[in-house]
Chains A and B, each alone.
Chain A
Amino acid sequence: MKTFNYHSAKDSKEASKLSSSNSAFLAGGMTTIPSMKLGLASYKDIIDIKSIKKLSGIKVSSKSVVIGATTKHVEVANSKEIKKTIPSLASLAEGIGDPQVRNRGTIGGSIANNDPSADYPSACIALEATIHTNERKIEASKFFKGMFETALKKGELIEAIEFKVPEKSSYQKHPNPASRYAVVGVYIAKHKSGVKVAVTGAKPCVYNDDDLSKALESDFSASSVAGMKLKSSDMNSDIHASAEYRANLVVIQAKKAVEAC
C-alpha cells in the first residue's frame, strides 16, 4: 500500500480546509479502503471525519427524518423512530451488505460515492431528500450526476441527509447473487404531491422512472405497473444481468414494492 497522511478532523471546517485535489474524506471506508488496497486509488491525505460528533445522529419529526452523514447503517436499521416513521428506510439499511459493512459503513459515504448499485441513493430520490453539506443544501434530484459522480465540489462535505416522510413507501431489490449488491432496486414512495419510483442498479446512475411514477399516480396499485414494458436500451448489461432482464426486474420489483406499501 502507498503511504499517505492521516488526519482526524475535529469539525467540518477543518476537514474541508485539509482537503485538496489529492485527498479523500474517510468515514466508514467501505469503498475507499478496498480501493486503496487494490491499488485502484491512492491519496496524499486521508481526512477522517468519524470523530466529528455533529455529523452523526438521527432526528425524526412528523415531516422529516434527518440522518447525520457518518451515521452507520446499523444505527438506521435499528432506529425505533425511523422504523415508525419510514419503515422502508430502516429495512433498506438492514439489507445493505453484511453485518461488518453495516457496522462501519455510513449513509454519507454511500451517497457521496454514488455507486450505481448502491441502495441509499434510491431512498434519497424516492423520499425527496435534501442533502445538507457544509456549504449548501442540494435537492437529491440534482445531487446524483452520473456513475460515481455527484454535485459535490472539492472539499464539500455532506453533513446530513433530510428525508421527507411519505404517506407510504417500500424498497425492493433483486440482489446480485455473488456480491448481494442490487442488480435492480426500486424504492417507491407515495407523497401527497405525487409518487416517486427511484431505481438503482438498472442504469449508470440512480433515477426516477417517470413512466412508473405516472402510472402509479393515476392508480396506486400493483396491477397498474404489472406488465409494463420499459425501454432497456440505456440500461446496464453485464455477466449477471442483461439490459432486457434488468428492465423486467424494474417492473417486477416495482410491483412488489407497491404490494408491500
Chain B
Amino acid sequence: MASLVGSRVERKEDKRFLTGKGRYTSDINLVNQTYAIFVRSPHARAQIKKLDISKASKASGVVSILTGNEIAEDKIGGLIAGWAIRSEDGTEMKCPANPPLAKDNVNFVGDPIAIVIADSLDEAKAAAEMVKVDYKVLKAVTSTGDAMKGDTIHDGIEKNLCFDWLLGDRQKVKEAFDKADKVISIDIINNRLVPNAMEPRACLADYNSGSDEITLYTTSQNPHLSRLIMSAFGNVAPEHKLRVVAPDVGGGFGSKINVYNEDIVCSWAAKKINRAIKWVAERSESFLTDIHGRDHVTHAELAVTKDGKFLGFKNETIANLGAYARVFGTVTPTYLFGPCATGVYDIPAAYSNVKAVFTNTAPVDAYRGAGRPEATYTIERLVEKAAMELGIDRTEIRKINFPKSFPFKQTLVHTVDSGDYVAGLDKAKQMADYDGFDARRKESESRGKLRGIGVTSYFEACGIAPSAAVMSLGCGVGLWESAEVRFNPTGQVTVYTGSHSHGQSHQTTFAQIAADELGVPMENIDIVHGDTDKGTFGMGTYGSRSLTVGGIAIVNACKKIVEKGKRVAAKMLEASPDEVDFKDGEFVVAKSNKKKTIGEVAFALYLPGSRDSDFKSPLPEGEEPGLKETSFFDPANFSFPAGSHIAEVEIDPDTGEVKLEKYTACDDFGRIVNPMIVEGQVHGGLAQGIGQALHENAEYDETGQLMTGSYMDYTMPRADNFPEFNIGYTCTHATTNPLGVKGCGEAGAIAAPPTVMNAVIDALGGQEITMPATAEKVWKACKSMKKSNAKAA
C-alpha cells in the first residue's frame, strides 16, 4: 500500500465547506435563545462616573442587562496573561486586572461595560442605545514609542511598563562591539495589524438547570484551554460542569486563542437568566476588540568585520501590549521574539531587551507568526543593510554567517536540530533567477520604473516545547498534545485530537497519518476535534503546533493500537508476538501465510469469543477487550522550519505604486504530509506577510480612536495584489519527532515582510521606509531620491 503521507490528497472538508454545509457558531440556534449586544466604551480612556440602565431595562424585549457590578458581586474572574515574564532586575511583570465587564475604568475603545440581553437582536440593539453612561474622559496613551512618557493608565504600573526583559549578555555584546570594524544600526517599526479572520468572533452559551451544566459554543482555536481558563480563573463553572465546543471556525490566525470577555459574560449570564444567549460580533466590533498583532518599535545594531562576519547583535524593543495583557500577550514579544532575533546566523554575542508597555488600544497578542515575524524583520533588514554598506552580495553575507553544522546552538536559546540553510538559499536563488536580476532591472529602468530585489533567510521556532522548559520560563500550562484513537467493532476509526482545525485541514492530514500507521483506508477514518466532551484534553492549535505536536500524539496512539493488536493477533494466529509483523493493515506471522487484518483483530477485541468455542477467548490472558488508545505527546524541543525567500518589486516613481513582480519561497518544512495543503498554508502566510509589508496598518489617532476600523480604510490584500507565487522546498527531516515534520503555517507571514521591504528599499537605493510601503510613502521617497540624485549629478 502506497504511503498517503507525502501525497496531494484532496481535502475531506472541502465538500462540506464549498457546499455551505459547514456548521459555524452562528449557524447554531437553540430553542428560546436570547440575543446579546455589548455596550462598549466609545472612549480610549475614561472613568465610568455613572451607568444608568433604567430606561434600557424597560425597553421592548429586554430580558436582562448586566454590568460590571454584577460580575464583581458574583466574583467572576477576569482575563489573564498566560505567561509570567520576569524583568531584567528580577521583579515580576505587572499586569492590571481585566474584568470581563469594566466597572470603574475603560481602557480602550470597545472595552465592554454591559451586556444587553433581549428576545431579538433588534431589540437588544435598540435597548443598548438607551444605556446611559457618564464618562470622565482622560487623556489617552496610544503611541508605542512614547507610552512610557504618558500618563499612568493602570494604578501602580509606573511608566505603563509591564516588564523590562533581557535575554543575553550585555557585557559580552559590548566586548564584541568593541572589536567590530563597523556597526550597522537600524530603527524600525513593526506595524500593527488586525487579524481579520473571515468568520467574526461569536458565542452561544446555554445553561441546563437540570444538570447544572453550561455549554459554550464559541469561535476558539483551543476549546479545552478556554474551558480551563474560564473555570480556573473566570470562576464560571467547574470544568466538569462546563462544556466548550468550537465547531467549524472560519480562521483564527491567533485572534481566537484568547478567552474573550464575551465568552465569560455570556456563559455566566446564561445561567443567571436560565436561557441561551447568542452573540455574534459585527465586523466593526472585530476590528475594535479582536486582539491585534505586532506593534513594535525597535532599535537594533549589528557588529561586523569588514569581510562580513557578524560579531555581535543588540536588540532594543518597545512592544505594545495594548490595554491589557492577554494569554500570549507577554510571551509573544519575549520568548517568541527575542531568541529568534539573531536569525539563522551564528553570532557569538547577542542580547534582546524588550520593554512591554500598556497603551489605550486593543490588546495585542499572538498573530500568525507571533514574535518571529518581528524578529525576522529586525535581523533581515539589518543584514540587508550590512550587505549594502559593506558592498558584499546580500546572499554571500548570509552564507558567511550561516551555521556550519547541525545541531546548531543558536546564540540566545535554541538548539536547532536540523537544517541546510545554504542549500535552501542556493535553491531559492536558482528558482528566482537571482543572477538575471540586473537585466530585469535595466529593462524596468528603460520604461522609467525602479526595480528592486530583496532576500530573507529565516528560521523560526514553532511547536513550542517541552512543557517543563516552557513552564520554567513562565508559561501557565504545559504545551503537549493529546490524541485518542478508537476502533469501532466493525473496523472504522475515530481519532480524537486536542488540536483544533480552523482552516488547517486536519480532517485530511491527520487521517493521512492515521491511515498510514493503521493501514486503514482514509475514508474509514474520522477526525474529531473541538469539543471538550469529546476527546481527552487538548492545548489547541497555534504556533504551527498541530502536526508537530498533535500529529505525533496521533502517531503514538496508533503505535499503541498496533502493539495491542499484535499481541491479540499473535494469540489468534497461534504465534508469539515477536513473530508477528504489522504492515499495510495486516498482522502477518513471519515466514508464513498466516495473517489477520487489523479489522479482524479489532472485531475480536470487541467481540472476544464465538459460538461453540468452548469458552475460549481469542484474547491473550489478562488482555482487556476493546481497542482504544490515548497518547500525550510532549516533544523534546521546538520545531525549526527555515528557508529563503526572494522578492522583486517594480515601482512607478510617478505614483509610488509598488508592484510585486515576483515572489519565490523555498522552505524546509521537513517531511511534508500533504504538499497541496502546505502550498495553501504558504500562500496564506505570504498573503498576510505581503499584506503587512505593502498594505495593512492598524492606526489609532492620538485620542485612541481606531482610524482604520473598516475595510473602507484598512487595506486587506486581495488576489490581484499578488503575483503567482513560486514555491519550492528543501527537506531535512526534524530529528525530534518520528515523522520528521516541522511546522509550516506561519513561515510565509514570518519571511515575507523583510523580503518585500528589502526589495522596496533596494529599489529606492537603500532609502529606509516604514511598513506598509504605501504608494504615497514610496512616492515621497522617490522624490527625495530624485533630489539627491540631482545633487550628486
Contact = CB atoms under 8 A, between A and B. Distances in A.
Tell me if chain B binds chain A. yes
Nearest to B655: A252
Contact of A241 (B708, B711, B716, B776): B776
Nearest to A38: B284
B483 to A, nearest CB: 42
B776 A179 contact: no
Given A252-B654, A252-B655, A178 B776 contact: no
Given A177-B695, A248-B655, 15 more contacts: A1-B122, A174-B655, A174-B775, A176-B712, A178-B708, A178-B713, A178-B715, A178-B716, A239-B699, A239-B707, A239-B713, A240-B776, A245-B776, A249-B655, A252-B655
B112 to A, nearest CB: 19
B779 interface: yes
Contacts of A1: 122
B714 interface: yes
Contacts of A176: 712
Contact of B779 (A177, A179, A239, A245): A245
B715 A177 contact: yes
Contacts of A179: 711-713
Interface string B695-718: 100010000000110011111100
A101 to B, nearest CB: 13
Interface residues of B, number: 18
A31 interface: no
Contacts of B654: 248, 252
Interface string B671-705: 00000000000000000000000010001000000
Contacts of B467: none
Nearest to B712: A179
28 contacts: A1-B122, A174-B655, A176-B712, A177-B695, A177-B715, A177-B775, A178-B708, A178-B712, A178-B714, A178-B716, A179-B711, A179-B712, A179-B713, A181-B712, A239-B699, A239-B708, A239-B713, A240-B713, A242-B776, A245-B775, A245-B776, A245-B779, A245-B780, A248-B654, A248-B655, A249-B655, A252-B654, A252-B655
Interface in A216-257: 239-242, 245, 248-249, 252
Nearest to B129: A39
A176 B695 CA distance: 11
Interface string A175-193: 0111101000000000000
What DSSP secondary structure best describes chain B's contact surface? Answer: loop
A245 B656 CA distance: 10
A245 B778 CA distance: 11
A249 B716 CA distance: 22
A252 B657 CA distance: 12
**Interface pairs A-B: 8 shortest CB-CB:** A178-B715, A179-B712, A177-B715, A245-B776, A252-B654, A178-B713, A252-B655, A241-B776
Nearest to B714: A178
A97 to B, nearest CB: 12
A176 B716 CA distance: 12
Contacts of A239: 699, 707-708, 713
A241 to B, nearest CB: 6
B774 interface: yes
Contacts of A240: 713, 774, 776
Interface string A154-182: 00000000000000000000101111010
Q: Give the most central of A176, A239, A242: most B CB within 10 Å.
A: A239
A174 B775 CA distance: 10
B779 A248 contact: yes
The size class of the interface chain A forms with chain B is: 10 to 19
Contacts of B713: 178-179, 239-240
Contacts of A245: 775-776, 779-780
A6 to B, nearest CB: 17
A178 B711 contact: yes
A248 B695 CA distance: 21
Contacts of A252: 654-655
B658 to A, nearest CB: 10
Nearest to A178: B715
A1 B716 CA distance: 28
B441 to A, nearest CB: 23
Contacts of B122: 1
A239 to B, nearest CB: 6
A53 B780 CA distance: 51
A110 B774 CA distance: 28
Nearest to A37: B282
A124 B707 CA distance: 32
Interface in B707-748: 707-708, 711-716
Nearest to B697: A239
A92 B774 CA distance: 24
A3 to B, nearest CB: 9
Contacts of B699: 239
Interface string B754-793: 0000000000000000000011100110000000000000
B64 to A, nearest CB: 23
A1 B126 CA distance: 8
Interface in B645-675: 654-655
Interface string B221-265: 000000000000000000000000000000000000000000000
A30 to B, nearest CB: 13
Nearest to B701: A239
Interface string A99-115: 00000000000000000
Contacts of B779: 245, 248
A163 to B, nearest CB: 28
A176 B707 CA distance: 15
A140 B708 CA distance: 34
Contacts of B655: 174, 248-249, 252
Contacts of B774: 177, 240
Nearest to A177: B715
Contacts of B716: 178
B534 to A, nearest CB: 38
B173 to A, nearest CB: 39
Interface in B180-198: none
Interface in B307-338: none
Residue among A177, A245, A248 with most chain B CB within 10 A: A177
B487 to A, nearest CB: 49
Nearest to B717: A177
A41 to B, nearest CB: 15
